[in-house]
């Protein structure tokens, strides 16, 4: 396969990657974005985004990402809607490969985000798509007037439960503790909703069903009592894991697999920058991801300028050396 060269390659196409693309493209760096086969990041699975500044009445997540992408394309960003299969950050220029492409690059921005966690319990994988889901936006409408369970106690679980009340006869939140870690406003919205019930101190031990899910096995972690809860759908909202498998051995990762970045933009490899949820274990918001994508692009631009200046200076020195 022929190798092409890029000033900047951006891996990932959520708010972080696409903001980096907008900035890099406007800096005339002609960025290449490896967007992944499911481009757009987690907001593609969201309904209304009410807290992204600039949209007074809110905007649907997929619409917001289409806007990001169109804005990046307007300034000449080239997109490949495929997954990167390997990177080599030990060589200069760096190498980035997919099944169809091989690029060398002077700088790379890692913005691959994080993916939904699964419970890894019996029946979960078998009944995935037949009652079990991690995406209320994608699958909620299949469960009109059905009995729905959401697992988790964070903001995602609250958001999914509230969203699912549009469809379900009842939505039951199952949480392993006696209080939610979600923000107060979201938790209050959920517990005060007439269609939402909560089962505290409980975990899901198994998903039950043949052709489709029909029930869950619940266990009260305080008493140890096991019960069967009849339900048609299980939405798992227990957090995310960083998408960093392709970077293992190439860049410093922490124990949980997040990219290590002391300043939230540089990595242990000069010229490789990071943006968004792939390093951010704290904020994980679209706006913070976008902000960090901007920082990564500005740093990449500065890095490339410095490289060019150093190259020019060494060229000038060697020209000055008499033969
Ligand atoms: P969190 O990590 O905040 O919450 C995960 C939840 O799942 C916790 O309650 C945790 O329990 C529970 N959990 C984790 N593993 C298991 C397991 N194996 N079995 C059962 N329960 C489990 O993740 P979120 O995705 O909810 O949120 C991530 C970040 O995104 C947060 O900062 C959040 O504020 C933000 N966010 C903001 C939104 C908004 O503002 N609109 C919407 C969605 C997310 P425990 O509490 O016991 O640890």
Residue found by looking up tokens 């951006």 in the block: 10
Which residue's CA is the closest to the ligand 1 atom numbered 15?
A: 238
Within-domain flag for 57: yes
Residues 139 and 210 in one domain: yes
Average pLDDT of every residue of the chain:
94
Q: Which of 153, 160, 180, 285 to mutate to test the pocket of ligand 1 (most atoms within 8 A of CB)?
A: 153
pLDDT in tens, 268-295: 999 999 999 999 988 888 999 999 999 9
**Listed residues 218, 236, 254: the one ending a domain:** 236
How many other C-beta atoms can be found within 10 angstroms of the C-beta atom of residue 196?
A: 21
Residues 105 and 249 in one domain: yes
Residues 155 and 298 in one domain: no
Q: Give 322's pLDDT tier (boundaries 50, 70, 90).
A: low
- For the Cβ of 203 lying below 6 angstroms from any atom of ligand 1, the answer is yes
How many Å lie between the centroid of ligand 1 and the Cα of residue 144? 25
User: What pLDDT, on the 0 to 100 scale, is given for residue 129?
Assistant: 84
Sign of CA dihedral 17, 22, 27, 30: positive
Residue found by looking up tokens 């997929």 in the block: 62
Rounded to 10 degrees, the C-alpha dihedral 47/48/54/55 comes to 120
Within-domain flag for 127: no
- For the Cβ of 257 lying below 6 angstroms from any atom of ligand 1, the answer is no
pLDDT in tens, 202-238: 999 999 999 999 999 999 999 999 999 999 999 999 9
Q: What is the mean pLDDT of residues 165-193?
A: 97
User: What pLDDT, on the 0 to 100 scale, is given for residue 1?
Assistant: 80
**Listed residues 202, 236, 270: the one ending a domain:** 236
Ligand 1, atom nearest to 159 Cα: 42
Q: What is the mean pLDDT of residues 156-168?
A: 96
CATH classification at residue 68: 3.50.50.60
How many Å lie between the centroid of ligand 1 and the Cα of residue 151? 10
CA distances to 14, 136, 163, 200 from 189, in Å: 28, 17, 11, 17
Q: How far apart are CA 195 and CA 12, in angstroms?
A: 37
Residues 59 and 28 in one domain: yes
Q: Which of 47, 150, 155, 207 to mutate to test the pocket of ligand 1 (most atoms within 8 A of CB)?
A: 155
- For the Cβ of 195 lying below 6 angstroms from any atom of ligand 1, the answer is no
Ligand 1, atom nearest to 154 Cα: 26
Within-domain flag for 221: yes
Number of domains in the chain: 2
Q: How far apart are CA 176 and CA 182, in angstroms?
A: 13
- For the Cβ of 168 lying below 6 angstroms from any atom of ligand 1, the answer is no
User: What pLDDT, on the 0 to 100 scale, is given for residue 317?
Assistant: 76
Residues 105 and 201 in one domain: no
How many Å lie between the centroid of ligand 1 and the Cα of residue 180? 9
CA angle 107, 113, 116 (to 5 degrees): 160
Residues 266 and 170 in one domain: no
Residues 171 and 231 in one domain: yes
Phi-psi region of 144 (alpha: psi -120 to 50; beta: other; left: phi over 0): beta
Q: What is the mean pLDDT of residues 80-95?
A: 97
Ligand 1, atom nearest to 153 Cα: 9
Residues 52 and 153 in one domain: no
Within-domain flag for 122: no
CA distances to 97, 117, 232 from 89, in Å: 12, 28, 47
Q: How far apart are CA 233 and CA 285, in angstroms?
A: 27
User: What pLDDT, on the 0 to 100 scale, is given for residue 315?
Assistant: 82
Residues 227 and 141 in one domain: yes
Within-domain flag for 124: no
Whole-prediction pTM: 0.77
Nearest alpha carbon to residue 32 among 98, 88, 78, 83: 78
How many Å lie between the centroid of ligand 1 and the Cα of residue 154? 3
- For the Cβ of 280 lying below 6 angstroms from any atom of ligand 1, the answer is no
- For the Cβ of 299 lying below 6 angstroms from any atom of ligand 1, the answer is no
Which residue's CA is the closest to the ligand 1 atom numbered 43?
A: 156
Dihedrals phi, psi of 253, to nearest 5 degrees: -115, 150
Residues 215 and 267 in one domain: no
Dihedrals phi, psi of 70, to nearest 5 degrees: -60, -35
Within-domain flag for 93: yes
180's CB contacts (< 8 A; 6+ apart) are 153, 154, 157, 158, 187, 190
Rounded to 10 degrees, the C-alpha dihedral 268/274/280/284 comes to 180
User: What pLDDT, on the 0 to 100 scale, is given for residue 34?
Assistant: 98
pLDDT in tens, 10-32: 999 999 999 999 999 999 999 99
Residues 108 and 39 in one domain: yes
**Listed residues 236, 253, 279: the one ending a domain:** 236
- For the Cβ of 154 lying below 6 angstroms from any atom of ligand 1, the answer is yes
Q: How far apart are CA 229 and CA 321, in angstroms?
A: 82
Within-domain flag for 125: no
Buried-state track 35-51, b at ≥16 Cβ within 10 A, e below 16 = bbeebbbbbbbbbbbee
How many Å lie between the centroid of ligand 1 and the Cα of residue 303? 36
Range(s) of the domain holding residue 52: 3-116+240-319
Q: What is the mean pLDDT of residues 117-129?
A: 94
Residues 218 and 137 in one domain: yes
pLDDT of residue 138 exceeding 80: no
Within-domain flag for 126: no
Dihedrals phi, psi of 95, to nearest 5 degrees: -120, 135
Q: Which two tokens stand for residue 90?
A: 């030990």
How many Å lie between the centroid of ligand 1 and the Cα of residue 156? 6
pLDDT of residue 311 exceeding 60: yes
Q: Which residues are catalytic?
A: 135, 138-139
Q: Which of 156, 203, 222 to mutate to test the pocket of ligand 1 (most atoms within 8 A of CB)?
A: 156
């Amino acid at each position: 396969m022929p190798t092409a060269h890029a000033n900047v390659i951006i891996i990932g196409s959520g708010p972080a990657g696409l903001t980096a693309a907008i900035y890099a493209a406007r800096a005339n760096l002609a960025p290449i974005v490896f967007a992944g086969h499911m481009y757009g990041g987690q907001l593609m699975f969201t309904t209304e985004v009410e807290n992204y500044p600039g949209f007074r009445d809110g905007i649907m997540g997929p619409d917001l990402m289409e806007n990001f992408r169109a804005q990046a394309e307007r300034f000449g960003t080239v997109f490949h809607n495929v997954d990167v299969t390997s990177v080599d950050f030990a060589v200069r220029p760096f190498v980035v490969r997919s099944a169809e492409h091989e690029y060398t690059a002077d700088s790379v921005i890692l913005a691959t985000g994080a993916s939904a966690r699964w419970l890894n319990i019996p029946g979960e994988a078998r009944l995935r798509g037949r009652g079990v889901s991690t995406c209320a936006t994608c699958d909620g409408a299949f469960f009109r007037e059905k009995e729905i369970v959401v697992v988790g106690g964070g903001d995602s679980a609250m958001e999914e439960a509230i969203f699912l009340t549009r469809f379900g006869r009842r939505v039951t939140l199952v949480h392993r503790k006696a209080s939610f870690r979600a923000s107060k406003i979201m938790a209050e919205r959920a517990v005060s909703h007439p269609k939402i019930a909560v089962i505290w101190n409980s975990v899901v031990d198994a998903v039950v069903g043949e052709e489709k899910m029909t029930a869950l096995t619940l266990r009260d972690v305080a008493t140890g009592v096991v019960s069967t809860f009849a339900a048609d759908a299980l939405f798992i909202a227990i957090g995310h894991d960083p998408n960093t498998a392709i970077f293992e051995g190439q860049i410093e990762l922490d124990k949980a697999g997040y990219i290590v970045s002391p300043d939230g933009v540089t990595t242990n490899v000069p010229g490789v920058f990071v943006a968004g949820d792939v390093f951010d274990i704290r904020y994980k918001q679209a706006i913070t991801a976008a902000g960090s994508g901007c920082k990564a692009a500005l740093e990449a631009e500065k890095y490339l300028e410095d490289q060019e200046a150093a190259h020019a200076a060494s060229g000038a020195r060697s020209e000055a050396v008499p033969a």
